[in-house]
Structure 1
Amino acid sequence: MTKQNRFTRVNFSLFFYLVFFGFGGFFPLLSVYFKNEVGLTGGQIGTLMSLGPVVMVLTQPLWGMLCDYTRRSNEVLILTVVMTGTLGLGYLLLESYAWMLVLAALLAAFQSAIIPTSDSIAMKFVRREGGDYGNLRLWGAIGFAGATWVMGELAERLDLTVIFFGFALSLWLCALTGLKLPKEEVAFDFDLRRGLARLARLPRFGMFLAATFLVFGPVHANNVYFGLLFQDLGGTVAGVGLGFLLAAGSEAPFMRFSGPWIRKWGLLSVTLFAALVSGFRWIFYSLEPSIAWVYLTTVSQGLSVGLFIPAALQYVRDLAPSEVQTTAIALYAAVGTGLGNSFFTLLGGYILDWAGISATYLLFGLATFTGVGMLVWVKRLEERRVENAESVV
């Protein structure tokens, strides 16, 4: 490995660390800021936080088209990183809830380009130069986990407004790092019409998407409501950060060693197990356990998210015909991290106002177990397909 090649890999790792450090120290504590400092209701918080995922789904293909048209992916990446960090500071200047909604949409529009563009640039680099993309992206998980604890401690000692300055500073430093990334031409648009026509012939795909909506939507919505749950149980802002550190920090080890489990038990079995862990976790939180038990159970996120992500993604890739795999993966991401996230974040906020945070987590648990039922159905269809294929042979 040349000195330049080694420097580029370190630069990629630093880029991912900084961008996820910014995200990790900001978004998990943003709902706490809205409730404690601004005085928003649960419904207002849910609406505000649910807007981003929908906007990101709509604007992400547009950034891909811009990268493809201009052939300046690196410049687009740097622009969106700088603008995302800068727009985050805008919340400190606003008092009107309507303008906060506008700002949330703008921030999400720029943020939507960061991860797909940087992932594409990194993937092109490792395919050309060799190496493991996962070793570069792993620093993102480390940055996210560390930021939740660091910014939680700072917010407790200083003020919750510190999260906005930490967010902006991290992303501005990230943009400087991005100047040294290799120049690559990337695009991440997809043929939606052709892909849907092919995927509609696969009932298992539609059912798996529905299960992903029900299982992964609450996982993402938990990032909004975990801080409110923790404070409702008597925890501190610093405690929220520590809880996120334990939860996010547990994902990387399980994700790293998910391969042997998948090979031994199969993709759908691992996905089912991960979904069950999530469901039991949400139901447990709805029973209002002690802070100590919340800390102990946060590591279950590694078993759920750390296993669900690689197993589900691989199942979608294997299920879809090769010519529409990109569309299938994009739809999977849009349904789980986009629409599912938005739906449960929005509904969870209104249930918070109506019946309290424990009812919000009861909703998450019931929805997840419904998703488990759909995964069982998909698994049975898969087993019947294999049996029919064997009988023909």
Structure 2
Amino acid sequence: MPRETKTTYRSLQYFYLTAFLSNGSLFPLLAVFLQEEKQLDPVLVGLIVAAIPLVNTVMEPVWGLLSDYTQKPLRLLAAALTAAAALAFIYLIYDHYALLLLGMLAIAVFQAAVIPLSDSMALSFVERNQLEYGNIRLWGAIGFAVASFLLGYITDFVGTLDVIFIAYGLCLLLALPALRKFPRQGYDIAAVSMKEGLRTLRKNKPFLFFLVSNFLIFGPILANNFYFGTFILAAGGTLSAVGIAFFLGAGSEAPFMKLAHRIIGKMSVIHVVMLSAAVSGARWVLYMFDPPLAVIFITTIIQGLSIGLYVPAALLYIRSAAPSSVQATAIALYSAVGTGLGNALFNLMGGMILEIATVYHMYALFAATTFTGVGILIIVKRMKSAAEGKRGIA
């Protein structure tokens, strides 16, 4: 590998490490912070955490358009990192609910730029140099795991959750030096109108059914990231225990992400998606019955199987199911439905359930919707097999 290429490669790995160190510092304990430090009701907490993915859904394409228009993705990324860090430091002085909501919305606006813009440049770089994106992205999983582990202990030691915002802001600022060695161009995707793409994909029934299953499966997975800390505390754990649990869960994703393509190569993509989704559903069923803390720690390790395999396998299915001319639209829809709408809805429903029932009832909902999603995946598999059979006869 040429020296300049290697320097850029290491800079990208460092960036993902620090960017996800920031995410791991804040988001695992955000719901606990809003309940414990700001004394908000669960429904109000749910509204705040549900607003974050909705902002991401709206703002991610906006940042993409700004990048295309200005042709200066690095400057936009630097501005977003700096603004999000500054807003995080200011957030600590807010006490009124309206300010807490608006402040988090403001952070989310700039946070929404970080991963799409960096992904665009990273994907462009690895394709030009025939490298693996997974070896860059896994540093994000490592960063998230390390931050959640450390912040659990730090918050227990200092006796306040305010430090999660300080750590979040500092890690974003630590990511800035990496931009000096970043590639100078983003991923060039053929422009296809959204209207044309939607018209084409609307006729693709297996693709539409897959989107519904992704909404039902991935929404609970992402909502769990916000409420898992609440669950650990309900099970008798401490903030340190929350950090350990997230460390085990996020840390287990890295090796599975590295092995994902090898495993997918031995099984069909749809079977890998079904397996990883069923594992998630089984985990939610176990959590319904108030398991001991030791059992919870053990089950977090299988998060690598349920997320580390689901994410790359689902993306590969989307790419294979959609025609090449509308893949950009297909991936955007996949992200909007699961990461955006599914994440938001299940965060909101989680807060509402916690208001009137318990965290165990919340996981009952997650289990029911996840296995409904698995059932839909079985339908998708049959539809695909039937379509392939017709082509074989023809």
State how far apart, in whole Å, the 2-side matches of 1:50 and 1:3 are. 44
Q: What is the match of residue 222 of structure 2?
A: 220
1:182 is displaced (CA, Å) by 2.8
CA deviations 1:67-89 (Å, max 9, x no partner) are 11111110001111111122122
Q: Which moved more, 1:338-347 or 1:85-94?
A: 85-94
The 1:289–1:329 alpha-carbon spacing in structure 2 relative to 1, beyond 3 Å, is: same
- Distance, in Å, in 2 between the alignment partners of 1:94 and 1:138 is 35
Aligned-pair CA distance for 1:130: 3.4
Which amino acid in structure 1 is aligned with residue 169 of structure 2?
A
The residue type equivalent to 1:100 in the other structure is L
CA offset digits 1:74-131 (Å, max 9, x no partner): 0001111111122122321101101111112111111111101001111222223332
Write the letter of the residue equivalent to 1:315: Y
Say yes or no: does 1:13 pair with 2:13. Answer: yes
Structure 1 counterpart of 2:103, which letter? L
CA contact (8 A) 1:67 1:76 kept: yes
Task: Answer yes or no: is the 8 Å Cα contact 1:64–1:187 preserved in 2.
Answer: no
Moved more, 90-99 or 187-196: 187-196
The one-letter code of the counterpart of 1:339 is: L
Q: Are the counterparts in 2 of residues 85 and 171 from structure 1 also a CA contact under 8 Å? A: yes
Deviation per CA, 1:181-238, whole angstroms, max 9, x where unpaired? 2322557886321111000010111110000000000000000110000001100001
Amino acid at match of 2:362: T
Which residue in the other structure is 1:169 paired with? 170
1:387/1:130 CA distance change after superposition, 3 Å: closer
CA distance in 2, matches of 1:167, 1:234: 26
Stretch moving more, 281-290 or 120-129: 120-129
Aligned to 2:202: 200
Distance of 1:205 and 1:83 partners within structure 2: 37
Matched residue, 2:233? 231
2:165 aligned partner, one-letter code? F
Alpha-carbon distance in 1 for matches of 2:70, 2:77: 12
Paired with 2:225 and 2:81, the residues of 1 have a C-alpha distance of 21
Say whether residues 1:145 and 2:145 are aligned partners.
Answer: yes
Match of 1:179 in 2: 180
**The one of 290, 296, 309 aligned to 2:298:** 296
Residue aligning to 1:333: 335
Pair 1:111-2:111 in alignment: yes
User: What are the Cα deviations for residues 284-326 of structure 1, in whole angstroms up to 9, with x where unaligned?
Assistant: 1111111011001111111111111111110000000000001
Amino acid at match of 1:114: V
8 A Cα contact 2:192 2:325, kept in partner:
no
Q: CA RMSD in A?
A: 1.4
Shift of 1:351: 0.5
What amino acid sits opposite 2:293 in the alignment?
I
Show the counterpart of 2:47.
47
Contact 2:7 2:181 in 1 (8 A): no
Residue-by-residue CA offset, 1:16-59 (whole Å, 9 max, x unaligned): 10000010111111111111111111111110000011111111
Distance 2:334 2:19 in 1: 23
Q: 1:72 to 1:370 in 2, by over 3 A?
A: same
Amino acid across the alignment from 2:322: A
**Partner amino acid for 2:255?**
P
Q: How does 1:1-393 map to 2 (within 5 A)?
A: 1-158=1-158, 159-185=160-186, 191-392=193-394
- What TM-score results when the alignment is normalised by the length of structure 1? 0.97
Q: Distance in 2 between matches of 1:193 and 1:60?
A: 18
Q: Deviation of residue 374 (structure 1)? A: 0.6
**Other structure's SS at 2:290 match:** coil
CA shift, 1:391, in A, is 2.2
Could you tell me how far apart the structure 2 residues matched to 1:303 and 1:29 are? 23
Residues of 1 paired with 2:328 and 2:49: CA distance? 27
Instruction: List alignment gaps of at least 5 residues for structure 2.
Output: none
* 1:75–1:145 CA distance, 2 compared to 1 (3 A): same
- Could you tell me how far apart the structure 2 residues matched to 1:268 and 1:180 are? 38
Question: How far apart in 2 are the matches of 1:87 and 1:37?
Answer: 18
CA contact (8 A) 1:65 1:187 kept: no
2: CA distance, partners of 1:233 / 1:380: 41
Deviations 1:240-262 (A, max 9, x none): 01000101111121222122332
Confirm or deny: 8 A CA contact 2:135 2:258 kept in the other structure. Answer: no
CA–CA distance in 2 between the matches of 1:130 and 1:383? Answer: 33
How many residue pairs match? The answer is 392
Q: TM-score, normalised by structure 2?
A: 0.97
CA contact (8 A) 1:22 1:167 kept: yes
Output the amino acid matched with 1:143. G
Specify the SS of the correspondent of 1:112.
helix
Whichever residue aligns with residue 283 of structure 2, its letter is: R
Return closer, same or farther for 1:312/1:186 CA change in 2, 3 Å cut-off: closer
